Amino acid sequence: MAVKVDIISGFLGAGKTTLIKKLIEEKLHSEKLVIIENEFGEIGIDGSILKNSGIEIKEINSGCICCTLVGDFSKSVEEVISKYKPDRIIIEPSGVGKLSDVIKACNIPKLNNTLRINMIITVVDVLKYQIYISNFGEFFENQIKHAKTIIMSRTQHADNKKMESIVSSIRKLNSKANIVTTLWEALKADQITAIAEQDASVMLENQMTIPRVVLKRHHHSSKCKCGHQHSHTHHHENCGCSSGESHNHRADEVFDVWGTETPKVFEEERLKVLVNQLGSDKNFGMVLRGKGILQVSQDKWIQFDYVPGEVQIKSTNPDYTGRICIIGRDLQKEELRKLFQG
């Protein structure tokens, strides 16, 4: 029997790992489960966070499944199935990966009888939607266009007008996906998987009494005079291409990554200042995502998460050493090194 594969994608910092943890803790913990975690860069952070759940993790670093690692991905899947014999595999692609290429990697002939694609979810941060679609449309739109289910994060911070505008924009890119806008805490994992697995017998709308769930399948499209459906949002000015060129960039052609391992014990308040500098100091380049697990005292470790305009710092379990990963554009890596290593 083919193994179920769930692909949970989302642009940098959207909340993929948080969603995966919720699904595991509330529903999937009873299954034989393996997570394939693909970081863009050599320093893996999310895998360590997820390992605390006791689930088997297979990490693929140093690139994207969708860029150069299709062969490695195929080998990883075969190893996972042979060693663990899982009921389900969850794939968390790099935040800058193209979902279409991740799906393609799962559909290669070598894996046809081994895998069955189940859920294809994209997590979209409503607060960053406009800035990301304007600056990184090629990657951001790809994740939306190829999702079966789109789950919005941070909806508690957006008013109805903003939500309606974003949903309308998403519908122009993907008219068939289910779009879930209800706050995650108000939903059970059963409800999320029911809609993401397209289970017609347990439709999400039949379970919900909470407003702000945008429900199934509005079939409308936007067409040009040529008769083909298009997304009428073209963003060429930031990718270095002329408006007439075809866009098929790899993530490593557009995004930079800097990472380091460090035994340094940081002073906690000083560390908060350093992390906040990622957004306020342009000398570091355009920082889109920062994350790390670091020691702040003899018996305390913290996890930090940075996206533009938002920093979260919380306690976490000790790791084998401190680690930091920064993703962005035109990163000034020497300046970043000085910031965290002094």
Higher pLDDT, 220 or 150: 150
Q: For 33, which DSSP code?
A: E
Three-point CA angle 261, 263, 269, nearest 5°: 100
pTM as predicted: 0.65
Is 269 domain-assigned? yes
CATH code of 333's domain: 3.30.1220.10
Using CA of residue 128, residue 129, residue 134, residue 137, what is the dihedral sign? positive
Is 278 domain-assigned? yes
CB 331 within 8 Å of CB 96: no
50/197 same-domain check: yes
Is 330 domain-assigned? yes
The pLDDT confidence band at residue 182, using thresholds 50, 70 and 90, is confident
d(CA 180, CA 216): 9
* pLDDT at 269 (0 to 100): 92
Residue after which a domain boundary falls, among 171, 186, 207: 207
Taking Cα atoms as reference points, which of 196, 215, 146 lies closest to residue 22? 196
Token duo for residue 18: 């948080």
262/202 same-domain check: no
Find the length of the chain. 342
Domain that holds residue 78: 3-207
Q: Could you report the per-residue pLDDT of 45-91, keeping only the tens digit for each?
A: 445 544 554 566 665 554 444 444 455 677 778 888 888 888 999 99
Q: Could you report the per-residue pLDDT of 251-292, keeping only the tens digit for each?
A: 666 778 888 878 888 999 999 999 999 988 788 998 988 888
pLDDT at 313 over 80: yes
Q: Can you spell out the DSSP letters for 156-209?
A: GGS-HHHHHHHHHHHHHH-SSSEEE-S-GGGS-HHHHHHHHTT-GGG-HHHH--
CB 314 within 8 Å of CB 268: no
To the nearest whole percent, how much of the chain has pLDDT over 90?
Answer: 29
CB 121 within 8 Å of CB 151: yes
d(CA 151, CA 131): 18
pLDDT at 176 over 80: yes
* pLDDT at 138 (0 to 100): 82
* pLDDT at 130 (0 to 100): 93
Is 217 domain-assigned? no
CB 103 within 8 Å of CB 7: yes
173 Cβ contact partners less than 8 Å away, ≥ 6 residues apart: 141, 144, 145, 231
Q: Could you report the per-residue pLDDT of 216-246, keeping only the tens digit for each?
A: 333 334 443 344 444 333 333 344 443 333 4
d(CA 211, CA 66): 37
CATH code of 183's domain: 3.40.50.300
Is 228 domain-assigned? no
* pLDDT at 212 (0 to 100): 35
Higher pLDDT, 204 or 69: 69
The pLDDT confidence band at residue 165, using thresholds 50, 70 and 90, is very high
* pLDDT at 56 (0 to 100): 64
Backbone angles phi, psi at 37, to 5 degrees: -105, 115
pLDDT at 122 over 90: yes
Please report, as a single letter, which amino acid is at residue 19: L
Euclidean distance between the first and final Cα of the chain, in Å?
54
d(CA 332, CA 284): 5
Using CA of residue 131, residue 132, residue 137, residue 142, what is the dihedral sign? negative
* pLDDT at 315 (0 to 100): 92
d(CA 235, CA 135): 7
Token duo for residue 48: 């360590």
